[in-house]
Amino acid sequence: MKYLLTIATGFAWAMGAHADPSLIGHWVSDRDTSAAFNEEHVRLEERTASFLRQSMGRLNVTFSASSVVWRMPNFEATIACEKHSIVGFDESHAYEVLGSTEDTVAIRTKEPVSGAEVIYLYTFEGPDKMWVYVSTLGAHLREYFVRAG
């Protein structure tokens, strides 16, 4: 009986682990996939689309079991024919998993830069590719990430 219970418990754990996508690890913003989706599905002014193409692909996100680190380097961007220095950030915050499905994970944490409490829903398109909505002026922009390690 003990043996059967051990097998059933192991099977249930394996099924749960398989169904729950994992944020743990290092993720890098995917500029090309993000830009392609946003330019096809979101009505953007050209200057906004241009800025997003210049800024996406730079953010690195690392999840441990209890904290998330966001690293965005400083960079130069051309906006309306003028060069601007964009100040990056390097922040770490605790996070809490609120729930998950086979292809999503919802977390509560603090937003980088503002420090406001937010809930992010990460949607997986495979074990090494995910996206999250980026709220900018009411637009539903996506930023795609690929697992880097």
Q: Residue 12 falls within a domain, yes or no? A: no
The predicted pLDDT at position 39 comes to 86
| Full residue range of the structural domain in which residue 85 is found | 22-147
CB under 8 Å to 117, separation ≥6 — which residues? 108, 109, 110, 111
Q: Residue 6 falls within a domain, yes or no? A: no
Q: Residue 32 falls within a domain, yes or no? A: yes
Q: Residue 11 falls within a domain, yes or no? A: no
The predicted pLDDT at position 38 comes to 87
Contact 77, 87 (CB under 8 A): no
Q: What's the structural domain count of the chain? A: 1
DSSP 31-67: HHHHHHHHHHHS---HHHHHHHHHHTT--EEEE-SSE
The predicted pLDDT at position 101 comes to 94
Alpha-carbon span 124 to 29, nearest angstrom? 14
Low-confidence ranges of the chain (pLDDT < 50): 1-19
If DSSP states are collapsed to H, E and C, what string results for 72-84?
ECCEEEEECCEEE
Q: Residue 140 falls within a domain, yes or no? A: yes
CATH for 33: 2.40.128
Q: Residue 29 falls within a domain, yes or no? A: yes
Q: Residue 33 falls within a domain, yes or no? A: yes
Q: Residue 3 falls within a domain, yes or no? A: no
| pLDDT, tens only, 10-39 | 433 333 333 457 999 999 999 999 999 988
